[in-house]
Structure 1
């Protein structure tokens, strides 16, 4: 028997037709962001929680209740799960006004109770004066607030948000971020946010779950995941451009030594990797630097001779694509520095890789850096 837990707990598996191998938990009052590319299974997992899709194996619990347990052939239907869900395009009833849309979520209550609660939610979501407007008379941000109010009307045990900010402009999105942050302080329920936007996830979530092809790859706080991806696959999904392969040579108390195609790199001490282990390694583009013209590099600065393969103008910055053997290194250079160093395609220069920020990880699939990855 699966142990009962508060908050939300999910573990589901199946081979097809939609492959799933996912596991995560979300505590009451916590926001968990499911992050991954299109087709990674994010929305399918939300549908599993809501009871709109039933996986072959696993369990789903919420607030101490078993909603799904394949071992005991237990399944609670959607109508009996207290779930609040906000869809990507809100799914408001076009023929009903804002007040009526919210009231539709409370059909088990008397008309007076439904109306009173709906008015309270309208005030809570800053929709005063808009109760009689139909969806087409509301802005995108106002429609989203109505959708959230309707989701909360059922007093759910979990709130599910499926790409809720994708249909509004940037200014409206920033305002809605603030409103969600304010609202979540009042909510004592798990909130699961589906998004493909890493900035959105790091801004709003307490924890992130990285997904690919229906699989959970890594879960943790945004800082933990962004700074220490466990595999090169996760690093790619997080947008890390500089990913390569090396072999651990030595560990000291101050640093670890890595062999990268015959070149030795000093990296921050990571003794958990055995000597001789082939690993993936990466570092942010911000930590690939030009050699200083007047000062000596630091002890953890690794000097590398490269050839400039391509220069791309990006406003006040230049993105440089640098070749070292078969590998390509992406670097951002302020425009004034690029001019001072007279950077040009085909030129050979020395750069430094900051060993303090080089992170070692498991090598998954191909680690060859493609030019298009460095330019996107």
Structure 2
């Protein structure tokens, strides 16, 4: 009977029918997988965009509130810097303790090698020390211009240590972002004259401080990538990185205190008196409270927003890359310049926009748009980072 059916083509038709159904099922499954991948890709882009927007807003608030916090503490900027440094250690470890007992932070996360966190603390302390030294000599207008070397360092270090390859539009976009910020800041500020008058050493030292900061950011990205392998696909909690990094930074800051206090014009033997007077002004109590109007509200707001900005920046770094987090932070520079043209409390007369503000902002936005023309790469945990030192 079967040969007859074969000759009649019935069996062949059934075979074709089964094959066609199988093909339809396979194509349907493949289509579902592609659709799921595209959906995950769009969701990831949306999350990164939201995290970047939050970083930009918090970065702008961080710059503005730093200026406001120095209104009551104008005679105690070194106290404000140390308050932030050592205050973060207490706050971060308190949050880490709560998250550990809530089961969010695991024992495996806390058991990660500590040598990378030690390196993070050292880089942050060196960046702060060299930046303070150069910032004490350079003008305020020249520092945002020199800070654009941070983006250059990010690109170079990402290529060397993360083995990333950037397309021409991404490199050109980063260049336009840096040029846009320089145009925005330099127009009408006399920054170029200030740079010429300060010699070559102090600008180079400031550029070196941004090298330390860029290396710190790239190292944190490597920590996230390496932790994903050690945790078998899991991710290390942000507060593990923040807590141990801040603790080691505070340790190295203590070692550098004689040097740092001298930079701020405070003799080391007078440091206890300076800290006591700074605390009195911060709390707005005692005979030294005159001229400390706005404290402790403004300094506390700065510390809170600065902490939120650091967490947001690290969250964005974990989701994307060091360069993307750097671009988001850079975008806050022209926004903060514009914010100072508003009638802010305690500032006095609002400043006017630089002549080239619009042109510089347009170049910066064009650079961001050009960089974003390239789709986001695979999630960081899929990369293969170099192995970190074991500690």
TM-score, structure 1 as length reference: 0.20
Choose between structure 1 and 2 for higher RCO, CA contacts under 8 A separated by at least 6 residues.
Answer: 2
**Which protein shows a greater Rg?**
2
TM-score, structure 2 as length reference: 0.19
Larger strand proportion, structure 1 or 2?
1
